[in-house]
Chains A and B, each alone.
Chain A
Amino acid sequence: MAVGEVRPDVTGLVREAQAGSTAAFSELVRLHQDEVFTLAYRLTGDAFLAADVAQDAFVRAWRAIAGFRADARFSTWLHRITVNVAWTERSRQRRRGADSIDDLVHEPAAAGPSTERLAVDAAFGSSLASALLSLPIALRSVVVLKDVYGWSHAEIAEDLAITVTSSKVRLHRARRLLRERIDRESLL
């Protein structure tokens, strides 16, 4: 935040939105849009799908905001809804017949990375982010939530509807794959 910039009163905006103010909620969307979109992108690996997931997450947040309790951080609550929406989307895609979201959104290797993906990668400024996006979504979700956002295994297990043990095993696999892919990239 720039010097002299007024810190937004998120608590006040949440209270107004809970009273039914769409203007207050729109302001909350403006304040949190980038972080929610980024989380959705890290989970889905596709900018277009991430925009849909982020939009759906905000609509669900609006529907449920009356139940939001001030003892949690609003952004944490939004993150949990975003993970939930992304995971639901993944299940929906799998029911449609694809093995995973990755099958739908990853372009063939020969075609190279898409323009929008390159743009977002550039914003992330790291080849690590690209390696992260190359992981299968089931592994990527766990490593993103644990190592990037600092969630506990219990929180991950609850939101992804898996066991704590599964969360630990997926994290181990994800870290190993990530290291291998970074090593491979550095050799190229």
Chain B
Amino acid sequence: MRAWCRIVGFGIDAAEPGDTLSPRLERHIAACLRCQAQRARTRRTRRELMALSGSTAPAPSGFVTTVSAAIVEDPGDPALPPPAPTHVGAVAVTGAAVLAAGGAAIAAWRLVRRPA
């Protein structure tokens, strides 16, 4: 596969519907049967993926009964907010850990460097 075909392939995969590729890439596609075929295949795959949103698989039989029994046993907590994004907590914890480690390192360095 030629280098240009790889670059175009990346562009085709990354492009969203409605996006236009650069004129240079478009010129290459116009002259390259392999890239034309790849673009057509990619568009077809995306259409098929989009079509999947309309199809559902049936939930296991008795599913509603099982869930209903679970929520009757679990009175819930109306005051609970919806689940928060988990990364906020992770960033906060990581930030605190970095600050603490930095502080400890500076303190240790100052202790070591302090003249006797």
Contacts and interface: CB of A to CB of B under 8 A. Distances in A.
Contacts of B63: 29, 33, 37, 51, 54-55
A68 B82 contact: yes
B41 interface: yes
A103 interface: no
Contacts of B57: 34, 37-38, 41, 120, 123-124
Interface of B is mostly: helix
A144 B7 CA distance: 25
Interface residues of A, number: 61
Contacts of A161: 85-87, 90
Given A63-B74, A66-B80, A179 B66 contact: no
Interface residues of B, number: 41
Nearest to A124: B55
Interface of A: 18, 20, 22, 25-26, 29-30, 33-38, 41-42, 47, 51, 54-55, 58-60, 62-68, 77, 80-81, 84, 87-88, 120, 123-126, 128-129, 132, 143, 147-150, 158-159, 161-162, 168, 171-172, 175-176, 178-179, 182-183
